[in-house]
Structure 1
Amino acid sequence: MTINSQSIISYSAIELSEIMNACFERYVIPIKTTPEYFISRFISEGISFNDSCVWKDGENIVAITIICLRSNKARLAAFALAPKYRGKGLAKKLLNYSFQKLKEKNIQEIHLEVIQENHVGVELYKSLGFNITRDLVGFKSQSNNKKSEVEFISGSYDELVKDICRQSPLEVQWLISPLSFHTIPCKILNYANKGWAVLDTLSGTEQLRYIFITPECRRQGFATKFLRDISVAYPGITTPVAIPGELQRMYLQAGFVELPIKQYEMVLTL
């Protein structure tokens, strides 16, 4: 068996989405993606077309690796082996190859998220030197019959970023970073000039991707009230499973329920 890598530049969006679906077949959670979703999602996350690749054994697809870059940090946005190539020790070899290439480019850290119930994946990444840095959770607002009395005003990406830049930069989880919002379909809402919410429609339904509270309105219970008003205005809305676990209490107090899926954020220092 001779395995070679090809940059994803060699493939169309249609081909890449089909390869993703094939490699994630019988995964812990089935993943199905479309060409449109593939392009929108990974461009928003900072995909590196040069570092992302498809692995092949002759004409057979072995695996796909999607790498995203921001400054001197990288993220393993997706990695999966086709079912027939699993259990052969290939994952560690392929990932080590990709990570060595990143190290040669002076990348200092590699981030990833892995489903906590994916015990095989968690142990694989630990064996590669990754450490768990925090729990990531997701939430869903409860359906209700209340009528929202709050008026959300549409805002712009520039206005949101201007407010964010008024304070010192915060370490935000990669998937919910404001850096991605200008490239995905989303709705930006202003809340009485005290906070912002970003609702994306990347998956076809609205998802609460991000909230931001202006510095002068923090530590006053405003974030909980903001989330509660969002829950009433958008019953059943979910968040990505990318919310740091330390914010769990705030979401629960606002009337959200926790989703059953949890992830680990893991980081490898090169």
Structure 2
Amino acid sequence: MTRSFEGYVVPVAVDGPAFERRFGAEHLDRYLSEVYSAGDDLAGICLVTRRGTTARIGGFGCTPAYRGRGVGRALMERAVRRCSAAGATTLTLEVIVGNVAAQRLYESLGFRIVRTLVGYSWERPGAVGPAATNGLADIDPLRFARRLAAGLAGADELPWQLAPETLAAAAPPRRAYVLGPAAALVSVTEDTAVLSAVHTEPAARRRGHGRALLAALRDAFPGRRWTVPPLVPETDGAEFFRATGWVRVDLAQYEMVHASV
């Protein structure tokens, strides 16, 4: 996978354990996923995740020697055909905004943009207000995912990597925390903290519980640079993130859906 994304817009370096944590949670389909070779030479990779009749291209790339030669188009056409033949009625993928060549390729094969996914960084943590750390506790990520799922009635479908089915399989270093009716899933290192998801029970929203939770996490893990990966739908939570001191980052993705699978 690392070789297939060499020189990519966003650097990708994945070892075995990290690969399993990510793609195990995303429900990798080991039959539909393929590694492509030309003799003994690695040409590319296509990783397909699947739930029910929805499939997703979770990773797709060609090694540098096979780019610009029509290989990517041929391999993506093959992936679309195989997913359709396997019974997928919906096929999705994400592409980095600004990766014009990839976007044009996908559009020419029948994919269309359905929404923009954005990320944030915590540039002004002090804007959240004083923390109330009493009551901050660990919970099983499975419980967090169940809380999230219970609050989604009537909501739009979440992006694949934020879906409860994905978050339920979260494993260390990701951990879930709860403070009252608000909960979050985070991954913390010595220097950084990644906020994967935050959720407040519907009946308790707009009462400051989410703010209090973020403030408690900030104080529990001081001195870190906090980020949210570009997986959040552009219109979801923008007001909340602004109000709690987060700044939208430049990196974004388009979520795309195939028109006729």
Q: Which interval holds the TM-score relative to the shorter structure?
A: 0.7 to 0.9
Please, what TM-score do these two structures have when normalized by structure 1? 0.83
Aligned partners of 1:23 and 1:257: how far apart in 2? 31
Gaps of 5+ in 1: 1-19
Aligned partners of 2:6 and 2:142: how far apart in 1? 40
1:141: how far off? 1.5
Equivalent position of 1:262 in the other structure: 252
The answer to whether residue 48 in structure 2 is matched with residue 67 in structure 1 is: yes
Q: Percent of counterpart pairs with the same letter?
A: 25
Equivalent position of 1:190 in the other structure: 178
Q: Secondary structure at the match of 1:240?
A: strand
Please, what TM-score do these two structures have when normalized by structure 2? 0.86
Contact 1:227 1:251 in 2 (8 A): no
CA change 1:161–1:31 in 2 (3 A) is: closer
Equivalent position of 2:161 in the other structure: 175
The answer to whether residue 150 in structure 2 is matched with residue 163 in structure 1 is: no
Aligned partners of 2:85 and 2:103: how far apart in 1? 25
Equivalent position of 1:244 in the other structure: 233
Aligned partners of 2:258 and 2:215: how far apart in 1? 36
Aligned partners of 2:149 and 2:238: how far apart in 1? 25
Counterpart residue type for residue 6 of structure 2: E
Aligned partners of 1:209 and 1:129: how far apart in 2? 30
Counterpart residue type for residue 244 of structure 1: P
Equivalent position of 1:125 in the other structure: 106
Counterpart residue type for residue 237 of structure 1: W
1:169: how far off? 6.5
Q: Secondary structure at the match of 1:139?
A: strand
Aligned partners of 1:237 and 1:62: how far apart in 2? 36
Contact 2:149 2:164 in 1 (8 A): no
Equivalent residue pairs, number: 249
Aligned partners of 2:37 and 2:48: how far apart in 1? 17
Counterpart residue type for residue 154 of structure 1: D
Aligned partners of 1:21 and 1:37: how far apart in 2? 12
Please list, as runs of the form range in 1=range in 2, the aligned pairs for 1:68-217 lying within 5 A after superposition: 68-142=49-123, 144=125, 148-151=131-134, 152-167=136-151, 168=153, 170=155, 171-181=157-167, 182-185=169-172, 186-192=174-180, 194-200=181-187, 206-217=193-204
CA change 1:127–1:140 in 2 (3 A) is: same
Equivalent position of 2:205 in the other structure: 218
Contact 2:141 2:185 in 1 (8 A): no
Residue by residue over 1:104-155, the C-alpha shift from the partner in whole angstroms, topping out at 9 and shown as x without a partner, is: 1210111111110111111111111111111111112136578743331212
Aligned partners of 2:29 and 2:49: how far apart in 1? 5
Counterpart residue type for residue 144 of structure 2: L
1:232: how far off? 5.2
Aligned partners of 2:38 and 2:97: how far apart in 1? 30
Residue 43 (structure 1) aligned to one of 10, 24, 44: 24
Aligned partners of 2:97 and 2:125: how far apart in 1? 30
1:183: how far off? 4.2
The structure with the largest strand share of the pair is: 2
Residue by residue over 1:161-216, the C-alpha shift from the partner in whole angstroms, topping out at 9 and shown as x without a partner, is: 44345442741111112212324322111121x121111359x9542111111121
